[in-house]
Amino acid sequence: MQIHLVLTVIGRDRPGLVSAVSETIAAGGGNWLDTRMASLSGQFAGMLLVAIAPDKADALVASLRQLEGQGLRFVIERSEEQTPVAGRSLRLELVGLDRPGIIRDISHVLAGQNVNIAELESERVSGSFSGEAMFKAKARLTLPDGLPLEDLRQSLEAIAHELMVDLSLEGASPAPSLLNG
């Protein structure tokens, strides 16, 4: 049996960071399973999931902590088992003129209908014709059983109209039985 370590890491962006973390994980007997990483405003930020034998976990955590001497910071959480996710999976895409509060307002509507945001990516880009700052977001949502898709669609379309953003929903399908499934 293995346990999971969920790691977040942040530090000044430079070549070799992923190599140092991956080498430490491999040397400690961990198996790198899942990752989200990016360079944001000169900082490297990442989240990753590592599987490891329970008797090796403490030593791996200690080894990762030694990388903090190279300017990295870690938050490490242990998980004995994966949490089952019930419901349907749906993809949300949004684009509009950038302004503060877009994610706040959309996430408020989703939370109000007990919709889980399983993944979220966003970026600010320059409009192709106008050059104005545009905000783009993509999310993978998990809808609770019993929530009619049309109810969610109407709620999101109402807020999209207020925010003056284009929004689309795609692929209502059963969610995977496990987070990493």
Residue boundaries of the structural domains of the chain = 3-79, 88-174
Percent of the chain with pLDDT over 70: 92
Parallel, antiparallel or unpaired: strands 88-97 and 165-174: antiparallel
What mean pLDDT is reported for the chain? Answer: 91
For residue range 10-64, what is the model confidence (pLDDT) as tens digits? 999 999 999 999 999 999 999 999 999 999 999 999 999 999 999 999 999 999 9
CA distance 56 to 58: 6
- Encoded tokens for 60: 């791996």
Based on C-alpha coordinates, what's the Rg of the chain?
Answer: 19
What tens digit of pLDDT does each residue of 111-128 get?
A: 999 999 999 999 999 877
Residue 137 to residue 49: CA distance in whole angstroms: 23
The CATH number of the domain covering residues in 3-79 = 3.30.70.260
Say what the pLDDT of residue 172 is: 53
- Taking the C-alpha atoms of residue 26 and residue 20, their distance in angstroms, rounded to an integer, is 10
Tell me the CATH number for domain 88-174.
3.30.70.260
Provide the pLDDT confidence category of residue 175 given band limits of 50, 70 and 90. very low
pLDDT range class, residue 130, cuts 50, 70, 90: confident
CA gap 8, 46 in Å, rounded: 6
Rounded Cα distance, 114 and 108, in Å: 10
**Is the pLDDT confidence value at 84 over 50?**
yes
Give the mean pLDDT of 85-93: 88
d(CA 18, CA 36): 12
Q: Do domains 3-79 and 88-174 have the same CATH topology?
A: yes
